[in-house]
Structure formats: structure tokens, C-alpha cells
Structure 1
Amino acid sequence: MTEPDGRPLALVTGASRGIGRAVAWAMAPSHDLLLGGRDTAALEALATELPGSRPWPVDLTDSAAVAAAVGGIERLDVLVHSAGVGILGTVADTPAQTWRHQFEVNVVAVAELTRLLLPALRTARGRVVMLNSGAGLNARPGWASYAASKFALRAFADALRAEEAENGVRVTSVHPGRVDTEMQRAVVDQEGDVYRPEKYLRPESVAGAVLLAVTAPEDAALTDLVLRPAGS
């Protein structure tokens, strides 16, 4: 898959909502976009708003579907991993299926999509951005399986960065604090608290950090970016 207008090509997973959607909006002025996600209708609607973009609907936990979907992508300038799940629970209350699900979505799916796209990323000397979390730096009580998956994602990013440096592929982990998204509303509901959006980062603020990583000059490799809500 090549871009006839000569603009760089970016794939953004989780683009139908939240941070992924904000990233797509931030990158649209300078990049052609593949909008990844499972909600085809939402991706199609977003594509009508962003010239140079098109839906890329695929279940990232379906390895065969992912392998088919990446076919034809010969050059990829940017890969942004924004898709993820967050399920809270103490170690005592979290069953094995929850651990497996969070690692499958937050780590295994990311690793497999990256692996399949490495030839295209190497061709472009591209950028890979992992939307991690503050939980990938500090584990809190009640966040065991989610934090463990994000720690694993950080380790994956570190290993990928070291392995692909000689191929010109740059890798950035972005660790935002709590962000005003639908996922955050679900988390706060699980915590039994009252949702106050002003307490959290805006998705657009996180998207700005992603854009900074993507547009960093050739002599600068941004490895880890940490954002927190102002005043937290």
C-alpha cells in the first residue's frame, strides 16, 4: 500500500474514540491515516471528517485477521498503539481470564501487529508510539493486572527500541496520567467515585505528546514521555 500524494502514512489503533481519536485529529493535517478499530461505523464517520484517512477495521486479538489486514502495507511512517483495555481488581479478586484478556489486548496484540509491520516501518525508518499509562511506571493497589500489562508493554517498547535502532526505527512510550475518556468513566465507576472530568488530562493533550514524538527531528530520539494532570 503506497500513498499517491507523497504524504507519510500513519496507522492509529483505537482511533474510533478517546485518545486514539484525538491522535488521528492531531496527525491528519500532516499524515495520511489508517484508522484502526473494531467499530466500523465510527471509523467510517471519522474518515469523512479527516481527508486522506480511511477505516482499517480489525480485531487486533485475531491474529489471522491482523495478518490479512496488513497485507499490502509496504511502507509505514508511523504506528501509534492506542487500543487497550483497563480492568481493575485486587490480586485476590482478579481471575485468570482477566489477566489473560488484559495481556492479550495490551501486550500480545501490540507485539504481533508491530512484528508484522516491521518490514514497512524499516523501509520508512518509521516511528512507533506506545500509549502506555502512569500504571506502567507505578503499580497501585487494585490495579494489579492492568499495571502488570502496562509494565510489560514498557519492557516490549524498550526491547524493540534497542533491537531496531540500527534500522532507524524509533520507539516512544507515552505515559499519561488519568485522561478524560469513556474508559476513565468506567474506571471511576469501578472505584465507586464521582466522575469529575476537570480532574483529568484531555485526550487532545495526550495527542500533542504523541505528535511531539512523531515529529521530533532526526537528531532527537524521544524514548519516554510522562504527562500528569496539572496540579495533581
Structure 2
Amino acid sequence: MMGDAMIEALIFDKDGTLFDFRLSWGAWTRALLAELGDSDGLLARVLGYDGARNDFAPDSPVIAMTTPEIADILLPHLPGMALDTLLARMNQLAADAPMVPAVDLPAVLGALKARGLKLGLATNDTEVPARRHLAGAGVLELFDFVVGCDSGYGGKPAPGQLLGFVAHCGLTPARVAMVGDSLHDLDAGRAAGMKAVAVLTGIATRGDLAPHADVVLANISGLAEWIDGLAAA
């Protein structure tokens, strides 16, 4: 039970927070580049992706931008391709991408849910792949609210998705924490009036995130201890 804990709900980013970013989205990026025929490496550079190291530049659009925003960046380098065609392939590849959980998600999220916490997901991915990824990890049923950039709430760093969670579940923003691995996540949390929790399972470093967060955790398995610390303060 929550008792007098200050946090009554958590809303998570997906990629880099629930799932290891490099291991999961490296595979998606490689598949997309192969399908688009990136023989000279131009598109990889546009995406800030180093295939040899399976790593992303800190400012890679793949890290925080919405799927339509990434498509807009790629399209000028793809003469003859329609935007709708590109978006459809990106979304299908995302849905099929092999997501690698950052922690034991059923155990960690199940324990948080057992405390009586409401759980939400706000991602700049689109909603259908997001739901498929959660289902594949065996945790979709634990979430009270799941939205993507195409769900009608906009995308991060704007707070629309987070405020949608608050409205849907009847929450008080100050008693909710946004949990994410990027400045987009933390800025969205601040804009929504929530606490901002950073995790280090994405690309950004502790130094990048700490000035924008209430706390920086190695991964989401540290959330229960952090919540208990707030309640005891």
C-alpha cells in the first residue's frame, strides 16, 4: 500500500527507459537503413548512427524525436519516396523491432503496480508499436494509460501526453513522476508539473540529465527505493 507516499503514479518513457536504447533501436535503425539502400552511409549520418559500434550520437533524432519528425528529416534524401510510404515502413519496422528490456519488466513494474501506483506510458514512438512492445514484454496489462505521438496528445517535450494521463486517471500532477532517459522526457515532466526522474539506460549521461531531474537512477529498478525515501522525508 502507498500509505503517505508522495507519489501516486508513474508515467514512463519507453525507449531507453523500459527498453535498452542501443540494443533495441540499433536493430531498427540497421533494418531501416538496409531497406532504404543506404550504400554510402548518408542516411546513417543523418540519423546520427554508427553501425560499426551500434551507437548513436547524443543529438541523434532517433533518440527523442517523433516518428513523423524523423521521417521529415530523412525524406529530402529519398527522392521519389512518398512521406506516407516512408512512415508506414518505419512504423512496421518499429513494431517488429526486437525490444531488449532494460530490467526484468514484469517483476519491477508488477511490484510498483502492487503498491497501488497508476502506471502510464508516453512515447514519441507511435501507439501501435508501443503497445506491441509492451505486450511482447508481458507488461501491457499493467498500464492504465498508453499513448504515442499519434494518439492525439502530441509528443514530448510538450506535456500533452502527461496531462492526458493525469486527466484519464484523476491524478494530481505534483504526485506523479515522469520517468525517462532524455531531456525531452524531463522537460515534459516539468512542464506538466510532475517530478522528473532520469534513468541511465539510454544515450544521455548523468551529467546531461542531473541538472534537469529530481533524481538520477541507474535504471527503473531503483524507483521503489526512491519513492520510499520521499515518503520517509
What is the TM-score normalised by the length of structure 1? 0.41
Q: Pick 1 or 2: higher relative contact order, CA cutoff 8 A, min separation 6.
A: 2
What is the TM-score normalised by the length of structure 2? 0.41
